[in-house]
Amino acid sequence: MILNVGKKATRIFLSALAAASFLACSKGTNSPQANLLTAPTQPRAEALQQLSVRVTSTSPFLTGVLLHSNSPFHHPGLSSTFQIDPTKRSEQLIGLLYPTADNFRASVSTRSGERIECNQVPQSGLMTAHSTLTLTFSCRSENVTLMLTRQPVAMERIAAEQTLQALRSQATLMLRDKLETVEITVLNDKLIFNSSAQLTSYPLSAAEHGKIISGQSRVILNNATAQCLQTLCNTVPGSLALRLGTAGELLLETISATGETLKTFAHRPNRSLRVASYNVENFWDDLPHNSSAYDDYSDQFSNWHSGGFAEKKARRIRAALIAAGLPEVVALQEIESAANQSRSLELLKLFLSELGYNHYALGQQAQDNPTAVTTAVISKFPLAENTRIDFLFKPDELKEDEQKDFIGASRDPQRVSVVLPEGIVFTLLNSHWKSKRDKSPWGDVMRRSLAELMRVHIETLRTAEGKPASAIIVGDFNADYREVPVYAGLQLVQSLAEARTDQPAHKLVPLWLTLSAQQQGDYPHDSHFQALDNIIITRSLLQDGPLALGAALQVVGRSGFAASVLGNGDGLPLRSQLRKYKDSAGQMRTTHFDLGFSDHLPIVAHFDRVLAGSSRPATVLFAQSIETQKLSDLPQVEIEGALCAANLEPKPLSSLASVQPGECVALTQIALEMQKTGLHHIYVQPTGNAENAQPQEKIVITADRAFGANKSWLRGTLQSSAGKTLTAVRGRVGYVEGYKAIFIHSPETDIRFE
């Protein structure tokens, strides 16, 4: 479980000082306890590995490669089989693997449709961090050679509770960094650390053991004090601490020499519940004729079906959910409807069932008013019902031809009941509201009508049950929750302080209020982050229902490691990459790329499940400034962009291929002709023909804050610079229309052309 814990000097799992502390503590390692880890009989919770697989040699008759992990220590929580496209230069694979050469086997598919099992050419070796391993397989008369590069991946990319379960089952938790491997085992009456093959064992009483695995105690280990098993302990520089977090997580952290606490990973108790909302940006299935798809996803005008992009999109949704920590219940938007016959969820099952998602529900749409896209819910817990709330917006004041767009956007909200193991049942309303693209004032009327419909539905639930309803409203509202159609239609509270009063009981609580204004927003629009995606709860879930709010709303991808996965070079979401162009006949066509995730970021709400007969968790309280901030006073947050250092070391042009989204790069001593203009970007062409070049052969030059501070420069100076020569550029790397792009921050200092 490896996490970026700070600047480059501390970007190892344990700081150098902490590692030294373990070595200094390792006296007496010849004790009987030293043999406990030599022949483990318990399953290991291996460190999460990210493997970059590159097909370096293959036969042209092969159409696919399946790489399997047969490690005896493979964790059952994640996939052990990865599909690789031989035509791709590289592909990121996520899995819990023990990466030795003999832990892999492969099979291939041929153009004739035959599946062939391969034999690995004998070799050996253990992959260390950032090392490569070459595997060669013989598949009858065909051969394939793979080059695997291993890199650590952050803890956020796997369900935290899986690791906690490993500790509770007395398994070994392995933590890898650039320097060494540290194993932590809670075994009966001992807390055992294995650092560089040297064991340190600390005795635990039964009570202490229970407190550690339940997250009720803080343990600090260092070379000065052997142990500290108390609720509160002094922080000693150079130590490792295991403690209970503010939201009920079990945290393992290191304390630097300066006394700074560096968070490493978190485990949430089994009684937690995480509910997410995620607009995945148009997930169409793999059947080309089961609906009248948008042209961007049709068999005639796009490569969606010929390129197998439905399955590729499913993989990327999987990666986004892993980055979000695999919430137990996920509400999705922009799933193909296909008259309620979409195969999209079946594709998701192929990649998500092994992660514990075994329950799926496609949002049903009225047969007399079919819509192109719908909603869906995937869950680790059973779904007792899946119904729709009928909604049709057809104002008599509009002419028939003017009504069409509103009728087509009258998507019926989805209602499901989620059944938790304790018998707790809560209602989830999932919806996708009409966009504001047409700028019509009737759009606000439509959104308010839908808001009022959902509020009345919640009130009906409360009246029918005779008690406060346990309900959560989620979805993409295509309007900020601070806008009148949303807050007035749903009747939202103005502040958390108001929500904690007894009256009025029917008002709903938007969880954006648990964050400061600067943290609010998951969707970029006109140079501002807007809070278009929402998780809104009934007041009973705030403090006195069977579920209790346990933490602030989480926006996945605004910061931290998830931002390096879901973010682009301009600090905005790395949306699904496609390029539109006109063919020789003037027909608009779309090319999809296996890149990007969505133009929205996932948001996650954290709850505690209140077990029968158990004490209620303490009501979560936030800072006074958060508790009292009023919805009507909160401004939208301007997107500021991110400046790269002026003394950035120049790189050769060839290095751009290995730079990841969000990283800074400076290219100097170049002379590239600026060729084709766009509204906010321009291409340069290092090699090849400009019209027929592959995506990686073009480079896009653009800027962050395209609808803000840099808008005039982009539409004026850059747009008219075709034919000039680019001699130097500095900025963050990302993607635009499937091409590698450099987003500059300041035209005055970050670019030079003549």
Tokens standing for 556? 């996945």
The three state secondary structure string of 639-669 is: CCCCCCCCCCCCECHHHHHHCCCCCEEEECC
Write out pLDDT tens, residues 44-92: 334 445 566 777 777 777 888 888 766 544 444 444 566 777 766 555 4
List all residues 6 or more positions away from 541 whose beta carbon is below 8 Å from its beta carbon: 426, 470, 471, 472, 509, 547, 548, 549, 607
Helix (H, G, I), strand (E, B) or coil at 406: helix
For residue 74, which of 49, 102, 44 has the smallest C-alpha distance? 44
Q: What average pLDDT does this structure show over 707-724?
A: 89
Q: Residue 21 pLDDT more than 80?
A: no
What pLDDT shows up at residue 267?
A: 41
288-292, 511-515, 706-710: segment of lowest average pLDDT: 288-292
Residues 631, 486 contacting (CB under 8 angstroms):
no
Q: What is the Cα 595 distance to its own chain's centre?
A: 14
pTM of this structure: 0.69
Rounded to whole angstroms, how far apart are CA atoms 522 and 510?
A: 14
The confidence band for 577, taking pLDDT boundaries of 50, 70 and 90, is very high
Rounded to whole angstroms, how far apart are CA atoms 573 and 571?
A: 7
**Angle between helices 206-213 and 160-168 in degrees, nearest 10:** 170
Q: Residue 317 pLDDT more than 90?
A: yes
Q: Residue 162 pLDDT more than 50?
A: no
Q: Which helix (H) or strand (E) holds 731?
A: strand 725-736
Rounded to whole angstroms, how far apart are CA atoms 507 and 509?
A: 7
Query: Residue 263 forms beta bridges with which residues?
Result: 253
Write out pLDDT tens, residues 123-141: 655 444 446 778 888 888 7
Q: What is the Cα 682 distance to its own chain's centre?
A: 30
The fraction of the chain above a pLDDT of 90, given in percent, is: 29
What pLDDT shows up at residue 39?
A: 25
The confidence band for 608, taking pLDDT boundaries of 50, 70 and 90, is confident
Of residues 178 and 639, more confidence is placed in 639
What pLDDT shows up at residue 694?
A: 46
> Residue 195: what residue type?
S
Please return the burial class of 409, using the count of CB atoms within 10 Å of its CB with bins 0-12, 13-18 and 19+.
buried
Cis omega (within 30 of 0) for bond into 237 = no
Tokens standing for 567? 């973010």
Question: Of the spans 60-74, 240-254, 325-339, 632-646, which averages the highest pLDDT?
Answer: 325-339
Residue 492, number of CB atoms within 10 A of its CB: 24
Q: What average pLDDT does this structure show over 197-217?
A: 60
What pLDDT shows up at residue 177?
A: 35
Q: Residue 174 pLDDT more than 90?
A: no
Of residues 72 and 642, more confidence is placed in 642
Residues 583, 589 contacting (CB under 8 angstroms):
yes
Rounded to whole angstroms, how far apart are CA atoms 282 and 432?
A: 12
Q: Residue 27 pLDDT more than 60?
A: no
Q: How many CA atoms lie within 13 A of 202 on its CB side?
A: 22
Of residues 437 and 10, more confidence is placed in 437
> Residue 364: what residue type?
Q
Rounded to whole angstroms, how far apart are CA atoms 388 and 406?
A: 18
What pLDDT shows up at residue 272?
A: 74
361-370, 379-388, 466-475, 556-565: segment of lowest average pLDDT: 556-565
User: Please, what is the Cα angle at 742 between 637 and 677, to 5 degrees?
Assistant: 100
Summarize the chain as % helix, strand, coil (round to 5). Answer: 20, 35, 45
What pLDDT shows up at residue 512?
A: 96
Length of the chain: 754
Q: What is the Cα 430 distance to its own chain's centre?
A: 19
Q: Residue 688 pLDDT more than 60?
A: no
For residue 320, give Cα distances in angstroms to 280, 522, 552: 9, 14, 20
Residues 50, 92 contacting (CB under 8 angstroms):
yes
| Range list of β-strands (E), 329-446 | 329-336, 359-362, 373-379, 383-388, 414-419, 425-432
